[in-house]
Structure 1
Amino acid sequence: MRTSRLGRSAVEVTELGLGGGPLGNLFTAVDDDAAAATLAAAWDCGIRFFDTSPHYGLGLSERRTGNFLHGKPRAEFTLSTKAGRLLVPQDPAGGTDERFAVPATHRRVWDFSRDGVRRSLQESLDRMGTDRVDVLLLHDAEEHFETALRHGWPALAELRAQGVVGAVGAGMHDTALLARLVREADLDVVMLSGRCTLLERSALDELLPACAERGVSVLAASVFNSGLLASARPAAGAMFDYAPAPPELLRRAHRIADVCAAHAVTLPQAAMAFPLLHPAVVGVVVGMRSAAEVRSDVEAFETGVPGGLWTDLREAGLLGEQLSG
């Protein structure tokens, strides 16, 4: 699988990365054996970039990822995690976590301070049973942006300068705030959630040009917009950005699927290929919850998408003019 370097760092990632949300039981539970099989299938298919976060399943995703990678040669994979939420133990009698199907044994506490970032990293290393991660990202800092910029970002820069991590950046969905961070800080990478997709292309206006100008690499995440673009024909009730898709978006997805079908392309194929049309985007990160899903996504990712698809989508009014295809 092709690899690219993140910004001016020495860290390389495979063009397709495994997103760790489903391994933290996002929406529905994945048992330990299925999670291990998912990771093994990703490895067997050539994926060497693994992204996780304390947020995903209150640390469950990190533990599962670390357990699997423990037996792999450290130089052969790239490991990414995030900071911004500390996990504080609490009485688990509160039931199940809100978004992840795990017992609510901890609560998340926002902390983008220098000490919070360093503590978060150390606790992630402990959960994963490793002595280093390659990439560290400020996670979901939208509501805490000024603190993240004034304190969280310098902490990342310090960790990079000390050689503790190889590449640093931020993972967010707000393109305007990410663009400001790109302009005001010396990032290596941004992980953009759901804003460079077939249905939501706001990143193309300001953020991606800024990244290209500053030499910041972009990893496109949530390219299926949390479900709507994940199947050849979206069903009623399909999710868009973690909520049921509005009828107009569902209709639009079906119109895009019609054009894709005329080119013998599936909607997921097009969804994964689209962000890579922009030169700043070096990889796509996809959450997968089973070995079969991994194999299906990798096959779709590695199948070429004809340039005529993008032309026809534009002519149908379903794609903007920012990318030439």
Structure 2
Amino acid sequence: MRTTGPGAGEVAAPELALGCAALGNLYRPVCDADARATVDAAWDAGIRTFDTAPHYGLGLSERRLGAALRDRPRDAYTLSTKVGRLLVPHPQGGAGDDLAHGFAVPATHRRVWDFSADGVLRSLEASLERLGVDRVDVALLHDPDAHAEQALREAYPALERLRAEGVIGAIGIGTNQSALPARFVRETDIDVVLLAGRYTLLDQDGLAELLPEAAARGRGVVIGGVFNSGLLTAPRHGATYDYVPAPRPVLDRALRLQAVTERHGVPLR
């Protein structure tokens, strides 16, 4: 598999990566065996880049990914995780589930937004423990949409220092929108943007500003959420788009796209 660098950082990664939100029981439960088999199948297919986050299943994705990679040579793969949400034990002991946030796991913890420098360090330390590794290759600011100023003033400089010290190979931002990462590309020295859901068959919002800005400055872009959180895998009533049931006009567009691809003998996905 060909490799590409994410930007100015010291990390090179294959052109295809495995996003690991599903390992955290996104939408529905996944057993440990199936989660492990998913990572094993990706590895056997040549994938060597894995992206996770504390948000995914309240740490479950990180724990499962770390367990699946534990016997692999650490220098053989690229690992990215995210900062911005701290996991704090739930004061009521985890009654109920986390489906309000999209994950079929017990609500043992609650998420606390924190884009302070201290929050970045605490988040990474906890992620390393869950993953069972001594380093991550890429650290991404996760969905700082409502916390942009703190992320720029406090979280980003903390990541920049960690990169300068060699603790992290590359830093960036991961969002479901394109305007804020375009600002980070212009105003900071991030290496990479993880753009989820905004460069797909249904939505090319990233083309308007972000992708040209990144190309002009030599910054890497990882295209995530290419199926718009599910709709483009199998358009049908109840399929998800941007993590909620797809509105009828969007579903109709996806069905028209599917009709076109099938006429050419190509599955929509």
Q: Indicate whether the TM-score tops 0.5.
A: yes
Partner of 1:275: none
**Cα distance between partner residues in 2 of 1:70 and 1:227:** 29
Partner of 2:35: 35
2:252 matched to 1:251? yes
Given that 2:87 and 2:109 are in contact with CA atoms closer than 8 Å, whether structure 1 keeps it comes out as yes
Name the SS for the 2:249 alignment partner: helix
Using the TM superposition, give the Cα deviation of residue 10 of structure 1 relative to its aligned residue in structure 2, in angstroms: 2.4
Partner of 2:226: 223
Using the TM superposition, give the Cα deviation of residue 223 of structure 1 relative to its aligned residue in structure 2, in angstroms: 0.6
Partner of 2:212: 209
**Cα distance between partner residues in 2 of 1:105 and 1:205:** 41
2:175 matched to 1:172? yes
Using the TM superposition, give the Cα deviation of residue 262 of structure 1 relative to its aligned residue in structure 2, in angstroms: 2.5
2:143 matched to 1:140? yes
Using CA pairs below 8 Å that are at least 6 residues apart, which structure has the higher relative contact order?
1
Using the TM superposition, give the Cα deviation of residue 77 of structure 1 relative to its aligned residue in structure 2, in angstroms: 0.3
Counterparts of 1:22-101 in structure 2 under 5 Å?
22-90=22-90, 91-97=92-98, 98=100, 99-101=102-104
Using the TM superposition, give the Cα deviation of residue 93 of structure 1 relative to its aligned residue in structure 2, in angstroms: 4.1
**Cα distance between partner residues in 2 of 1:127 and 1:261:** 42
**Cα distance between partner residues in 1 of 2:172 and 2:140:** 5
Given that 2:95 and 2:107 are in contact with CA atoms closer than 8 Å, whether structure 1 keeps it comes out as yes
Equivalent position amino acid for 1:124 in 2: S
2:192 matched to 1:189? yes
**Cα distance between partner residues in 1 of 2:127 and 2:239:** 32
Partner of 1:199: 202
Partner of 2:240: 239
Equivalent position amino acid for 1:77 in 2: Y
Given that 1:196 and 1:203 are in contact with CA atoms closer than 8 Å, whether structure 2 keeps it comes out as yes
Partner of 2:155: 152
Using the TM superposition, give the Cα deviation of residue 134 of structure 1 relative to its aligned residue in structure 2, in angstroms: 0.3
Superimposed CA distance per residue, residues 231-268 of structure 1 (whole angstroms, 9 cap, x where no aligned partner): 3xx11121111111111111111111122123221111
TM-score between the two structures when normalised by the length of structure 2: 0.97
RMSD of equivalent CA atoms: 0.9
Partner of 1:4: 4
**Cα distance between partner residues in 1 of 2:107 and 2:93:** 5
Unaligned runs of 5+ in 1: 269-325
**Cα distance between partner residues in 2 of 1:61 and 1:252:** 32
Name the SS for the 1:267 alignment partner: coil
**Cα distance between partner residues in 2 of 1:49 and 1:4:** 11
Superimposed CA distance per residue, residues 199-254 of structure 1 (whole angstroms, 9 cap, x where no aligned partner): 111110001000001111100111100111013xx111211111111111111111
Unaligned runs of 5+ in 2: none
Name the SS for the 1:92 alignment partner: coil
**Cα distance between partner residues in 1 of 2:48 and 2:86:** 27
TM-score between the two structures when normalised by the length of structure 1: 0.80
- Structure 1 residue ranges (4+ consecutive) displaced by more than 6 angstroms after TM superposition: none
Superimposed CA distance per residue, residues 134-182 of structure 1 (whole angstroms, 9 cap, x where no aligned partner): 0000001001111001111101101100100101000012211111111
Equivalent position amino acid for 2:64 in 1: R
Equivalent position amino acid for 1:226 in 2: S
Given that 2:231 and 2:254 are in contact with CA atoms closer than 8 Å, whether structure 1 keeps it comes out as yes
Using the TM superposition, give the Cα deviation of residue 33 of structure 1 relative to its aligned residue in structure 2, in angstroms: 0.9
Aligned residue pair count: 266
- Greater Cα offset, 55-64 or 93-102: 93-102
Equivalent position amino acid for 1:198 in 2: L
**Cα distance between partner residues in 2 of 1:72 and 1:16:** 18
Given that 1:92 and 1:103 are in contact with CA atoms closer than 8 Å, whether structure 2 keeps it comes out as no
Given that 1:173 and 1:192 are in contact with CA atoms closer than 8 Å, whether structure 2 keeps it comes out as yes
Using the TM superposition, give the Cα deviation of residue 2 of structure 1 relative to its aligned residue in structure 2, in angstroms: 1.7
